[in-house]
Amino acid sequence: MLRAMSSENYHELPELLSEDTKNMHRALVSLREELEAVDWYQQRAEGCSDDELRAVLTHNKNEEIEHAMMVLEWIRRHSPTFDGNIGTYVNSKGPILQIEANQTGGGESSGGSAPQSASPSLGIGSLRERV
Amino acid sequence: MDLLKRKRAPITPEAWEQIDEEARRVLKLHLGARKLVDFSGPHGWKLGGVNTGRLNAIHKGPVPEVQHAVRDVQPLVEVRAPFVMKILELDYAARGANDLDLDAVIAAAERVAFAEDNAIFSGFKDARIKGIIEASPHAPIGVNTNLDWPRAVVEGKDVLRAAGVNGPYALALGPKAYAELTADSEDGYPLRQRIEANLDGPLVWAPALVSGALLLSTRGGDYELTVGQDLSIGYAFHDRENVELYLTESFTFRVLEDTAAVLLRRA
């Protein structure tokens, strides 16, 4: 039996999909695989009883993180929505849910998760068109 | 209770929605610089300053043979534009009215947008903001007539390229420049289209840019707007008839690469 390829994981007929969507699918699948590998190496390293093997596994885990970030950067460059959200949340400061409340102007309706001092904004943010 | 104290205002959710939406619409129309510069935030009210990474040396410290230096921080400035609404008028929203008199909201949004853009383009000394125009080392390029705009844009691009600043290049236009480019044509060909064909960045209407137009790179890394509390509407106080609200934000702006813009000054 042939092993399933990523192209067989499409949820729509491939002939209905653009090349851009197919490439994004490849990138997203690749990102998922890299992150799974990080998880696996993390667990193996922690469960390992040999120090040298643990060091190798940890090294490999860190390599997978690098691979994941390279793929994520490709995704960011090809998806304005990823780009916008990465710009908003990655390297941000303060409570993460407050950042979302500030973005959407929904600070008072965010289920009470935002701190009382959070002020709802009009959600203007950056108006620069993403190329 | 948050700093904006909106829950204390005698305003129904339906009226708040119309006030916020109108402010949002006007701000997005009038804010020019946010369409051009890098944006950091919103970081919330608690952000008081931006770390510049610099040191200011203290030449004579209190202890001999110990060197002292103070970390340089650029503070955020808070702006607030108050406006008054009639409670009776706002209550109409809860009865189904969707055409409230929101002129005061519009005027406040225009004032705040002008304040932010003016600080970014022209600077704001008391807020320790150096504007893009005053920071630029390039001599302004003169625009003598309305038909002179295309030549000035080409010359501006040459200036930026010679300074090692690559594109995309965008053009921020003050009211007079925007009107000329939109209304006038050369040999039947609209000026605006001639200029757009020469630019790989956007053409942006910037009402606060009163001195002409600004050609600048939008490649990123040159200009940074840092916002603490992003544009928001808060409540001040009310009496039997009126409620005073205000439009506010906290921000600062930094020029990271001063050569990335040149002013096109209309004679």
Distance CA B167, CA B149 (A): 19
The torsion angles phi and psi of A102, rounded to 5 degrees, stand at -65, -35
Distances (CA, A) of A106 to A119, A123, B232: 9, 9, 11
pLDDT score, position A103? 64
Task: Report which of B206, B209, B253 is spatially closest to residue B30, judged by C-alpha positions.
Answer: B206
- What ipTM is given for this predicted complex? 0.88
Q: How far apart are CA A43 and CA B25, in angstroms?
A: 51
CB A108 within 8 A of CB B54: no
Any chain B CB within 8 A of the CB of A92?
yes
Cβ–Cβ gap B6/A108 under 8 Å: yes
Is B38 part of any domain?
yes
- CA quadruple B47, B53, B54, B60: dihedral, nearest 10: 80
Measured torsion, CA atoms of residues A21, A25, A31, A32, in degrees rounded to the nearest 10: 140
CB contact under 8 A, A102 and B230: yes
pLDDT at A7: 55
Pair of tokens at residue A126 = 């950056």
Q: Minimal Cα–Cα distance from B260 to chain A, Å?
A: 17
Q: Tens digits of per-residue pLDDT, A13-43?
A: 888 888 888 999 999 999 999 999 999 999 9
Verify whether the Cβ–Cβ distance B37 to A121 is below 8 Å.
no
SS3 B244: strand
> Token digits for B221?
């890394």
Q: Give the separation between CA B41 and CA B18, rounded to whole angstroms.
A: 25
Range of the domain at B45: 6-55+65-266
pLDDT by residue for chain B (267 residues), tens only, comes to 589 999 899 999 999 999 999 999 999 999 999 999 999 988 889 999 999 999 999 988 899 999 999 999 999 999 999 999 999 999 999 999 999 999 999 999 999 999 999 999 999 999 999 999 999 999 999 999 888 999 999 999 999 999 999 989 999 999 999 988 887 776 667 888 888 888 989 999 999 998 899 999 999 999 999 999 999 999 999 999 999 999 999 999 999 999 999 999 988
Cα–Cα distances in Å, from A80 out to A76, A128, B71?
Answer: 7, 11, 36
Please, which pLDDT band fits residue A86 given cuts at 50, 70 and 90?
confident
User: How many domains in chain B?
Assistant: 1
Confidence bin at A113 (pLDDT 50/70/90): very low
Residue B1 domain-assigned (yes or no): no
Helix (H) or strand (E) holding B236: strand B232-238
Residue B60 lies in a domain: no
Mutation to test the A interface, candidates B18, B102, B232, B253, most A Cβ within 10 Å? B232
Instruction: Flag whether B169 is in a domain.
Output: yes
**CATH code of the domain covering residue B252:** 3.30.2400.30
This prediction has a pTM of: 0.72
Nearest CA in chain B to A102: B42
Q: What is the spatial distance between Cα B223 and Cα B34, in angstroms, rounded to a whole number?
A: 10
Given a contact cutoff of 8 angstroms between Cβ atoms, the answer to whether A100 and A120 are in contact is: no
Distance from CA of A17 to the nearest CA of B (A): 29
Q: Residue A46 has which token pair?
A: 């922690």
What does residue A110 show for φ and ψ, rounded to 5 degrees? Answer: -95, 35
- Amino acid type, B148: D
Partner-chain contact B4 A92, CB within 8 Å: no
Contact check, Cβ <8 Å, B2/A93: no
Range list of H helices, chain A:
19-47, 51-78, 80-89, 96-104
With CB atoms and an 8 Å threshold, state whether B34 touches A120: no
Instruction: Tell whether B42 is covered by a domain.
Output: yes
pLDDT at A130: 54
The confidence score (pLDDT) of residue A8 equals 59
Tokens at B10, concatenated:
């005698």
Tell which A residues from 28 to 87 touch B, by Cβ distance under 8 Å: 87
| pLDDT for position A99 | 77
